[in-house]
A and B are shown apart, each in its own frame.
Chain A
Amino acid sequence: MKPLLEVRDLDIAYSGSRGRMPFRRERADAVVRGVSFTVGANETVALVGESGSGKTTIARAIAGLLVPSRGQILFQDRDIGARVEQRSKELHREIQLVFQNPDSSLNPRRRIRSILDRPLRFFFRLSRRARRERIGELLQDVHLDPRYMHRFPRQLSGGERQRVAIAGALAAEPKLILCDEIVSALDVSVQANILDLLRELQAKRGISYLFIAHDLAVVRWLAQRVLVLYRGHVMEEGTSDEVFSRPFHPYTEMLLKSVPEPDVSRPLLAVAETDGRTDGVGWTGKGCPFSSLCPRHLGSICDEETPPRRRVSPTHALLCHIPPAELAAAQASLDSLGDGAASHRASGS
């Protein structure tokens, strides 16, 4: 089956000149390098990584807020690498974006009904009455009381506001929703509700999600496939089960280890393992992007040579000089880690 969204060999650079006066050009630094992935219909793909890893940048490029410097973004086999202004109305409708902070994504001076009415009016030819009915349905779809439509955003709680933001995206009847850290600002119990809602909507409407998060537990529970990003590179990709079990990429391993657990005797991040090497702020583009922090650093090969992309299975690949079998052996003691990250969620279901 053809994928809904296909990203091929994407490079994105923030040229420092954007938003400044003309003639003032600055050196462009690539923040995303050679990223490829697909999102199928009715599928959830997650991008994980620490801040600065380029995950939001990728979503912004797909939405059309940034133009990639190289590579292609195909949506239903059409190249959509253009800026949002040059895209068709149909495309605007089919790809929706939900932001992290609903305080900022809902206009504080408009009532909920007016916020939800706009996309309905903009994209569909509906009578006033039909729109009003639809607004009620949308609120019910996200498990909110339809009477909420008469309220202002500030009269809702954070979780309720995020539901309204999701309803706003649903109003356009999209095929793909880009979820940019949409549960990060919410507390854990509200997170669980929102994630339930996303799954339910997917089952009901066949929507695809590109889910951006840094919380591995959330990702493991929601996504079918996962891409682990570091400094704009895909370090590991595979199905959710593959990424969260051995062999791990050393970076994935570090992310899993840094998940806070009740065990206070263990340090959050084993800094000692990096032998005093510092974060690769001044990474020159040579060797492995993760070499400066890697707990399984081999030596000069990691600093000098670009690591090969090693396939573990047809769907699972990682970017490392260490062969997967060796990694798996070295990580034998860590098998419980991947489960540990998701354990508090698994125990709930």
Chain B
Amino acid sequence: MSVAAGSGPVDAPLLPEPVTRPKGVLAFVRRQPLTFLVVSAILAIYVLVAVTGPWWAPYPPDELLTGDPFAPPSWDHLLGTDNFGRDVFSRLVHGERLVLGLALATAGLSVIVGSAVGLLSACLRGWPDELLGRVLEILISIPPLIIALLVLGSLGSSYLLTVSLVALFFAIRVATVIRAAALDVVVEDFVTLAKLRGEPIWSIAGREILPNVSSAVLVEFSLRTGYAVLFIGGLSFLGFGPAPPTPDWGLMINEGRTYISTAPWPVLGPALALAGLVVALSLFTERISEVLGLSVQRAPSQ
């Protein structure tokens, strides 16, 4: 073939369509390890209960004396009753919506704010980024629980305040993770080309960088949901959550702990439900990050 012949031939589309593993939901499900399937099923049940629970729970959450106080588990009261004779199982079911809702709202807010900060910081580069990176490092060293107790103690607790406060703490951590992921992307030439085109910074962050860090964002969301369940549960347990008689799990554990030696059920029920949710979320996160080729950065204590 003559090199200087001007119009070269069209590159023949010799490439076959990429061959991939069998597609379809079923094939994907079959490839997953058993733990992941079990964990997903557990999470699905949690969500299902949260959505439909109030319609089929055997008793209203705050009805007194549905049976004898401190009744042990029976067919009438699957998890027994508490000191007021309220049905622990019904209270768990009713409280689930609150626990999951607050956790998802917190995780969602923290991921949105944290990703935005992390992406913009990485896009700015140079000294603004370095300054912001240092500020984030300083903020990360602030112990969240102490500040949360201080703020909620002085301003009074509300759902909005709790969610925004916890989301703020989490957003700092999300921002550092997303910034680190984005810093690997901003050096790519397609980002330089977008800059040369004169694209505004939010457009570069959103169109060019975000799609390349989306798996990190997803993993952060899943991870933060688990942490939020624990953290908000902890706040409720300490009395900085909703007021009685709200069937919040943390609050239920607190209320029941006085009688734990004689009647463990009112504590065990919500404690196990909380633990199950957190463990399931954690295992779920681990697996999806594995699938997405990321490693979850585990914080020592949240």
What is the interface of chain A, defined by CB distance below 8 A to chain B?
A: 18-22, 63-65, 84-85, 87, 89, 92, 96-97, 99, 101, 104-110, 115, 118-119, 122-123, 140, 143-145, 147-148, 155-157, 159-160, 163, 168, 172, 192-193, 195-197, 199-200, 203, 345, 348-349
Contacts and interface: CB of A to CB of B under 8 A. Distances in A.
Interface string B110-140: 0000000000000001110011000000000
Interface in B64-122: none
A92 B188 contact: no
Contacts of A101: 189
Given A104-B190, A105-B190, A122-B199, A21 B211 contact: no
Given A21-B131, A160-B11, A107 B211 contact: yes
A65 B194 CA distance: 12
Given A104-B188, A196-B3, A84 B8 contact: no
A11 to B, nearest CB: 22
A197 B8 contact: yes
A65 B197 contact: no
What 9 pairs between A and B have smallest CB-CB spacing? A109-B211, A349-B4, A105-B189, A348-B3, A92-B198, A104-B189, A99-B189, A107-B190, A192-B3
Nearest to A180: B189
A92 B193 contact: no
B212 A107 contact: yes
A20 B127 contact: yes
B137 to A, nearest CB: 14
B179 to A, nearest CB: 15
B127 A63 contact: no
A296 to B, nearest CB: 34
A141 to B, nearest CB: 11
Nearest to A153: B190
Contacts of A96: 196
B124 to A, nearest CB: 11
B10 interface: yes
Contacts of B190: 104-107, 115
B33 interface: no
A63 B196 contact: yes
B6 A84 contact: no
The winner among B5, B190, B199 for most chain A CB atoms within 10 A is: B190
A99 B212 CA distance: 20
B132 to A, nearest CB: 12
Given A106-B190, A110-B211, A145 B3 contact: no
B22 interface: no
Contact of B13 (A20, A147, A168): A147
A108 B18 CA distance: 16
Contacts of B10: 140, 143-145
Interface in B2-21: 2-11, 13, 15, 18
B207 interface: yes
Nearest to B17: A155
B8 A21 contact: no
20 contacts: A21-B131, A22-B127, A84-B198, A104-B188, A104-B189, A105-B188, A107-B188, A110-B207, A140-B10, A143-B9, A143-B10, A159-B11, A160-B11, A168-B193, A193-B8, A196-B3, A196-B4, A197-B8, A200-B8, A348-B4
A155 B3 contact: no
Nearest to A107: B190
A155 B6 contact: no
Contacts of B62: none
Contact of A84 (B125, B188, B196): B196
A160 B6 CA distance: 18
Contacts of A144: 10-11
Contact of A19 (B126, B131, B194): B126
Interface in B190-247: 190, 192-199, 207-208, 211-212, 214
B2 A84 contact: no
Nearest to A20: B127
A203 B6 CA distance: 9
Contacts of A203: 6
B118 to A, nearest CB: 17
